Structure 1
């Protein structure tokens, strides 16, 4: 959509909103399109495309026919947009309900639904539905979707396009090409699943996103219809949990302490499947329980040559396949390392003219309800630069009624850097929620049911009812997404940390560091709690490290107040939510190549620069404070990540993977 088309659509929208009886196509062609050169057929196609675009933005164009004439006669057909049918209903929220809703909107981290949640909140703010709210002290739950596949599936699902991908079948252990009509996405047993209709098998199937072995391709020229009344949570509830099995692994003496915590000594007479014998000296034979060979296989592959899987054969295959894929990726020809000097610090989605028009439709009611805001504050609220905002405002002030007088144009002023709007032309109320926006908020609210204390109050239930009513038909489609449970496994630790934050007291903890594969004891000043799915962390000032650190609650061996108050050095990092990884200037700058299915890692690790590759992959520059664990990182992702520079780190990762493969016969 070009800038001129954006302006034309805006003028068409204003014209159709501000007519009571409707406008004929000839009137629109003359007064809005100013079209005199194209044929009637060509103009008709353009007008139908524009009506379709307005429908995507939430405006249904009504067709009104003169009595006694048919709709196939363009000379007697008029068009208009009802002023109420497309508007977001009034929503009045209490302070407690706003608290819950803000937490729900903030759940989605770096995901397609994250921007949708922000758009929905801006609409509620523009409608005057939000009040002042105080968030729970230091608590921020978040949902971490399953990589790029999640983004692509959401887009295809809401547009109702089939998708194709390569999938590692659990029943056969082979990679297979699948074409699927995506019906819903949900989290179950700590994993994200796609529920959809498999066209080749002509039946409903469940697909775990962690078993996708290729990027998702969206078939945009094809469509499908989702079953009536589909609810992904009910579908996933029918999935039986896999039975617990026992594996046999040889673990290097004194290494991999985290795995040892949940392992037991293996029976001497247990049958083995791995082809390579390890010497008894320097190794311990352990039994590790598991439910899914692929999940445990990803973890065991990351331990490289420090672990050898002996049984069962399915787990041996899962680990060896990942190591082989990592070795093949490392050995393949490397792309040239080239970044644009203007490359952004993050990898934002490319802005389009559709984004601009959607933003302008939110901007007018926002300005009506927030008169006099400084222009930089308005730009910050919409996540754009001042220049981008001024470009929006310049288009808006040139838009209005067809062939109208100056008073018939949108009137916005910002000469003194404070923005005022005095003529809104019936754009003063926000458009109803889109499917993405309804899904983001309603799925977030449902996910909060597992959060201690929050689920016990009535605010969660009441705000859900109000949002469902406001979302209407689009809210029913939120049943296509089900988030994970965000409740912590150890609520006692969560309660202790929250109380320490509130009281301003230090904590003493014994903590297992997976990167260093070691236990340590620390005194810390707790600052904030947050989560990714049901994995909880807390940010604290560590007196041993003399800096901010993030600690996983499930890696804490013991935790108790030490009786001392927090120090003046205890200041939380800027911004919220907390970053898991805080880059420093003295960190090592590492260049990695990400396969198409893993490009989301660039956001997860806060890459400084990125560059797209012809195959759909990505180059990324990332700062790492500790580089000793990077071979583990490469092995874990099994052919989706490799290090390009520095050369010493690339060589170390290659040697690590080679040594691990050698344990399985090469």
Structure 2
């Protein structure tokens, strides 16, 4: 859709909204399209495309027929759009409800739903429904989507397109191509699941996203109809939790204190019979200089990713499927690491450098304009730069929007029949709005982002209490209408912390301005350390919570995972003035410094989400679908662990020295398995197991 088409569609929309009786096609052709050269057939095709475009925006173009007086007086067709067509209903929120809603909207940081949530909030602001409110002090939960696979599946679920992907079955260990009609996507037991109709099995199936072994292909030429009243949360509620199993893991002496903390009492597990369904291979010879631990786990793929990240420090003796899963990751990472290095060529840096966003289209522009008009009506006199910031565009882009708007209005109208917007002194005022004072309804993505976010807050201490969470959910459901019902196809994880006592200790210290003393496990150094910190705020990724604090040992702001804190207590001193949190939410997991290491990664389509997760400063597509990403790391010591965890989906391209170190680290990890007295089976044999 070109800029001229954007202007034409806007004028067509205004014309059809501002007529009660309706306009004939000839009137529209002459007054809106100014079409005098094309044939009637060509104009008809263009007009039908434009009507379809408006319908995709949610505006129902009504057809009104005037009956003729006789056989020599044919019927006349007129077109119009009702004043209430696709308008967001009035939503009035209290300050308490507004605070809860803003917290829910900020759950989706990097995902596409994050953009949808921001759009939905702008619509509520444009409608004047959001009250001034303060977010809870120092607390920001967030949801971590399952990478690019999640993004593609959400798109397919909402558009009702089938998907195809490679999947490793948990029951057999075999990798197969699946074609699925995706009904819904949700989180349970810390795992994301897709629920849908498997065309080859001809039945409903649950697919764990951690077992996808390829990117998702969306079959955009096909559609399907999901079951009526489908609710993904109800479906997942019936899913039984995986049983606790135990792995026999040889751990290098004196290392991995965190893993040792979770080891089970050997006397509590019957390793001889494998009665717990896990440690049946625990009789393998123990390596010299290693301690044999029995470690409980539920999800094989998740635990395999953790164990792969330990490299040669942890060698799985059994069970065999877990050992194979670790080896798959290490071998895939080593194979990817050894592949030819691509040419590194990033686009010149600019204002949008580092932001992986899809290319803006004229459709985006028209959507933005339909939000911009009511926003300006309810926010008269804002500085043009602030308006641009609110909509996530540059000033130049916003001024291009405004130039189109001031040329739009009723067909062949007088000056008062045009949109009148002025920004001569850099403060934007709208004088004539042509009754476009209310934003359009929520899209299904926007409804999902808000309603799923509100659902995820249920159970969060200090938020779920009281009636604000329930009342704002009911109001948004009513406003979202049918799109709100479609939100039942998505269900996020609970963000309730595992250790609510530690969370409350940190929250109280933030409120009172008190320093904290903590004992912290640093996985990069594989050791505990003692820290005195000034607590700044708390935030989460799913149910994993982090404390952002100024560390007096490091003399810098650091992020500490609550589940890695061994001891947390006030030290009796007030906070200093040395540190301050970064401006605004959401908080980044990594605060860049001048002495950071700049690393260039190559990511597969399945691993492309890591660019967002680690705040890539620049990205560039590669032939074949892979992606280059320039990422800053405070320390490169843990980069090999990251590559192993994401086995085969990420590798270091530069600097060359770090890439060589990663390759050496992976080789040592694989060698440890070959020297363990139980050498790994060839890859093709492991694929045939089960």
User: What is the TM-score when the length of structure 2 is the normalising length?
Assistant: 0.93
Q: Distance in 2 between matches of 1:118 and 1:74?
A: 50
Equivalence for 1:560: 569
Equivalence for 1:400: 409
Say whether residues 1:256 and 2:268 are aligned partners.
no
Q: 1:276 to 1:619 in 2, by over 3 A?
A: farther
Equivalence for 2:328: 321
Q: 1:269 to 1:527 in 2, by over 3 A?
A: closer
1:357-397 Cα shifts (integer Å, max 9, x gaps)? 10010000000111111101111111111001000000101
Q: Distance in 1 between matches of 2:625 and 2:401?
A: 31
8 Å contact from structure 1 (residues 326, 635) kept in 2: yes
Displacement of 1:15 in angstroms is 0.8
Mapping 1:254-403, distance limit 5 Å: 254-264=254-264, 266=266, 270=272, 280-342=287-349, 344-403=353-412
Q: Distance in 2 between matches of 1:97 and 1:647?
A: 52
Say whether residues 1:415 and 2:424 are aligned partners.
yes
8 Å contact from structure 2 (residues 62, 80) kept in 1: yes
Q: 1:314 to 1:280 in 2, by over 3 A?
A: closer
Displacement of 1:548 in angstroms is 0.4
Larger mean CA deviation between 595-604 and 571-580 belongs to 571-580
1:287-316 Cα shifts (integer Å, max 9, x gaps)? 011112111111111111111111111101
Q: 1:219 to 1:45 in 2, by over 3 A?
A: farther
Equivalence for 1:2: 2
Q: Distance in 2 between matches of 1:488 and 1:39?
A: 66
Matching residue within 630, 642, 659 for 1:633: 642
Q: Distance in 2 between matches of 1:36 and 1:476?
A: 45
8 Å contact from structure 1 (residues 590, 622) kept in 2: yes
Q: Distance in 2 between matches of 1:74 and 1:103?
A: 58
Q: 1:41 to 1:222 in 2, by over 3 A?
A: farther
Larger mean CA deviation between 43-52 and 18-27 belongs to 43-52
8 Å contact from structure 2 (residues 255, 313) kept in 1: yes
1:128-163 Cα shifts (integer Å, max 9, x gaps)? 111111111101011111101111111121111111
1:563-583 Cα shifts (integer Å, max 9, x gaps)? 110011131123322111112
Equivalence for 2:499: 490
8 Å contact from structure 2 (residues 250, 286) kept in 1: no
8 Å contact from structure 1 (residues 587, 623) kept in 2: yes
Q: 1:473 to 1:568 in 2, by over 3 A?
A: same
Equivalence for 1:584: 593
Q: Distance in 2 between matches of 1:308 and 1:444?
A: 39
Matching residue within 456, 465, 476 for 1:456: 465
Displacement of 1:660 in angstroms is 1.4
1:455-477 Cα shifts (integer Å, max 9, x gaps)? 11101111111111111111111
1:594-647 Cα shifts (integer Å, max 9, x gaps)? 011111111111111110112222101111111111111111101000001111
Q: Distance in 2 between matches of 1:418 and 1:228?
A: 49
Matching residue within 509, 532, 536 for 2:545: 536
Larger mean CA deviation between 212-221 and 656-665 belongs to 656-665
SS of structure 1 residue aligned to 2:673 = coil
Displacement of 1:280 in angstroms is 4.3
Displacement of 1:279 in angstroms is 5.6
SS of structure 2 residue aligned to 1:648 = helix
Displacement of 1:36 in angstroms is 3.3
Equivalence for 1:654: 663
- The alignment of Structure 1 onto Structure 2 pairs a total of residues equal to 664
Larger mean CA deviation between 148-157 and 273-282 belongs to 273-282
Larger mean CA deviation between 29-38 and 129-138 belongs to 29-38
Q: 1:276 to 1:632 in 2, by over 3 A?
A: farther
Q: Distance in 2 between matches of 1:502 and 1:571?
A: 14
SS of structure 2 residue aligned to 1:664 = helix
Displacement of 1:277 in angstroms is 6.4
Larger mean CA deviation between 572-581 and 556-565 belongs to 572-581
1:259-282 Cα shifts (integer Å, max 9, x gaps)? 111013657964877799666431
Mapping 1:73-222, distance limit 5 Å: 76-222=76-222
Q: Distance in 2 between matches of 1:68 and 1:35?
A: 27
Q: 1:211 to 1:501 in 2, by over 3 A?
A: same
8 Å contact from structure 2 (residues 347, 620) kept in 1: yes
Structure 2 unaligned spans of 5+: 675-679, 681-690
Q: 1:131 to 1:269 in 2, by over 3 A?
A: closer
Q: Distance in 2 between matches of 1:171 and 1:409?
A: 65
Runs of 4+ with >4 A deviation: 265-280
Displacement of 1:481 in angstroms is 0.6
Mapping 1:431-470, distance limit 5 Å: 431-470=440-479
Mapping 1:607-622, distance limit 5 Å: 607-622=616-631
1:398-428 Cα shifts (integer Å, max 9, x gaps)? 1111122222111111011011111111211
Aligned-pair Cα RMSD in Å: 1.9
8 Å contact from structure 2 (residues 67, 75) kept in 1: no
Say whether residues 1:601 and 2:610 are aligned partners.
yes
Q: 1:631 to 1:29 in 2, by over 3 A?
A: same
Q: Distance in 1 between matches of 2:240 and 2:39?
A: 61
8 Å contact from structure 1 (residues 275, 664) kept in 2: no
8 Å contact from structure 2 (residues 251, 315) kept in 1: yes
8 Å contact from structure 2 (residues 248, 282) kept in 1: no
SS of structure 2 residue aligned to 1:450 = coil
Q: Distance in 2 between matches of 1:493 and 1:383?
A: 36
Q: Distance in 2 between matches of 1:442 and 1:265?
A: 43
SS of structure 1 residue aligned to 2:47 = helix
